[in-house]
């Protein structure tokens, strides 16, 4: 028996160990204590400790993820704010901004959860709006000519500190680090231009170098780094969290090198080798917020696709309490097939159109069944078969003699050897 996370709850699944192999990360699941985190903050990578960077009377902006990410931000921000105040900073010299990119705004309840009520009540928080031209300004352009527009807030503070978690990302390689600035605090125009680098319109496929766990030679990652460099981050805190969202490892210091170390560590523990692909893969995103919407849940499908034979069945557990993720996401599935969608995408690129193309490609390659709260018309339009539970036949195909179980699909990278 295994409990597969679904939203804020779980779904039990009784399986035959002789038939299924469970693919899980080899991470340390023990949460770090406050003193252990303090020790890491005292010994940053390629940087002085934060207290030696921030002087008395200087203003600090903490950039944190939104509600679609698990980062342990509540514990980290609480400790950082206390350290800064003990170092001489005044609470009114510290502010927080949520790196939402083109995601929805963070609710008041989510802010309390992401920061703790103590911090939320004492430290001013700010919301980024990628669609508001008044909120952003042009800071320069990348080597490839992309105009970089970032939130005005980044100019109003003496020091910008990034706080985020590292996990796999299906085209940026990894989350965290530079992504807190771009796309996190970039304009919709800059977000669109940098994301477009992931798609090659000449081949109607992903661009070379783009993929899960890939940084070197990845044009999207490189553009993010270029764009983020205009913000001149003073310090970065990169966490790795367990399935409960607790911090189990931390790499801090220089915003580029500390992020790379975190990515290397995460990859080493969350990449699993398999000797064969199988006809059946059952995958849970890992619960909330990894299955908060379909755009986020797609990342787990990406992992499952690496372990499933073409024509096989993938069963996805994704509550999607926030629905598809954006209202315009479903519209892309009006396309007859993924080739037509690719043509539309190249004609008028949109960030979520690329996710829609990736999802439709998988729906064409695999028989995808989904346990979800999404409406039937939405799942049908996405070419997904909605089932009531894991017991709903015929989710287990008679021909599927063996399969894989991925309890935390968003955090796994199966690699065929």
Domain's final residue, options 268, 297, 326: 268
Let me know if residue 171 belongs to a domain: yes
Let me know if residue 29 belongs to a domain: no
Rounded mean pLDDT, 64-81: 92
Let me know if residue 190 belongs to a domain: yes
Q: What percent of the chain has pLDDT over 70?
A: 97
Rounded mean pLDDT, 18-33: 86
Could you tell me if 207 and 309 lie in one domain?
no
From residue 356, give the alpha-carbon distance in Å to each of 24, 76, 349: 27, 34, 12
What CATH number should be reported for the domain holding residue 329?
A: 3.90.226.30
Q: β-strands 9-13, 2-6: how paired? A: antiparallel
CB neighbourhood size of 345 (10 A): 21
What CATH number should be reported for the domain holding residue 186?
A: 3.40.50.11440
pLDDT averaged over every residue in the chain: 93
pLDDT tens for each residue of 320-373: 999 998 888 999 999 999 999 999 999 988 888 999 999 999 999 999 999 999
Rounded mean pLDDT, 104-123: 94
Could you tell me if 145 and 264 lie in one domain?
yes
- Top-confidence residue, 281 or 392: 281
78: containing domain: 34-268
Could you tell me if 97 and 45 lie in one domain?
yes
Let me know if residue 375 belongs to a domain: yes
Q: What is the pLDDT of residue 396?
A: 54
Could you tell me if 291 and 252 lie in one domain?
no
Let me know if residue 359 belongs to a domain: yes
Contact 96, 125 (CB under 8 A): yes
Could you tell me if 8 and 49 lie in one domain?
no
Domains of the chain: total: 2
Length of the chain, please? 417
Could you tell me if 203 and 253 lie in one domain?
yes
Let me know if residue 15 belongs to a domain: yes
Q: What is the pLDDT of residue 25?
A: 82
Could you tell me if 158 and 192 lie in one domain?
yes
Of 366, 26, 403, 361, the C-alpha closest to 170 is 361
Angle at 100 between CA 89 and CA 162, to 5 degrees: 35
Query: Which pTM does this prediction carry?
Result: 0.92
The Cα 205–Cα 194 span in angstroms is 16
């Amino acid at each position: 028996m295994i409990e597969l996370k679904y939203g804020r709850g779980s779904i039990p699944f009784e399986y035959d160990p002789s038939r299924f192999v469970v693919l899980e990360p080899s991470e340390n699941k023990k949460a770090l204590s406050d003193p252990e985190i303090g020790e890491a903050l005292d010994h940053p990578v390629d940087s002085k400790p934060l207290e030696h960077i921030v002087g008395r009377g200087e203003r600090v902006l903490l950039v944190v993820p939104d509600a679609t990410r698990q980062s342990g931000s509540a514990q980290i921000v609480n400790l950082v704010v206390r350290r800064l105040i003990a170092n001489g900073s005044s609470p009114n010299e510290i502010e927080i901004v949520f790196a939402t990119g083109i995601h929805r705004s963070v609710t008041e309840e989510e802010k309390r959860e992401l920061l703790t009520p103590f911090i939320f009540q004492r430290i001013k928080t700010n919301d980024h709006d990628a669609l508001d031209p008044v909120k952003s300004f042009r800071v320069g352009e990348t080597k490839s000519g992309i105009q970089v527009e970032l939130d005005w807030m980044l100019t109003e503070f003496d020091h910008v500190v990034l706080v985020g978690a590292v996990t796999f990302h299906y085209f940026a390689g990894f989350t965290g680090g530079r992504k807190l600035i771009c796309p996190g605090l970039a304009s919709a125009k800059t977000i669109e231009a940098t994301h477009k680098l992931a798609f090659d319109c000449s081949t109607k496929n992903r661009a070379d170098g783009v993929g899960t766990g890939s940084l070197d030679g990845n044009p999207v990652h490189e553009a993010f780094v270029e764009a983020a460099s205009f913000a001149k981050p003073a310090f970065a805190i990169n966490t790795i969290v367990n399935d409960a969202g607790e911090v189990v490892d931390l790499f801090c210091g220089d915003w580029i090198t500390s992020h790379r170390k975190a990515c290397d560590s995460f990859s080493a523990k969350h990449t699993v080798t398999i000797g064969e692909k199988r006809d059946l893969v059952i995958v849970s995103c890992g619960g909330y917020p990894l299955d908060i919407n379909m755009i986020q849940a797609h990342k787990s499908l990406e992992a499952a696709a690496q372990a499933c034979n073409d024509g096989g069945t993938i069963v996805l557990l994704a509550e999607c309490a926030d629905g598809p993720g954006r209202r315009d996401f479903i519209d892309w599935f009006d396309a007859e097939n993924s080739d037509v969608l690719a043509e539309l995408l190249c004609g008028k690129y949109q960030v979520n159109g690329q996710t829609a193309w990736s999802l439709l490609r998988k729906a064409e390659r695999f028989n995808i069944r989904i346990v979800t709260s999404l409406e039937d018309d939405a799942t049908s339009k996405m070419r997904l078969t909605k089932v009531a539970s894991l017991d709903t036949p015929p989710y287990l195909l008679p021909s599927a003699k063996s399969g894989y179980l991925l309890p935390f699909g968003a955090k796994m990278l199966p690699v065929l050897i």
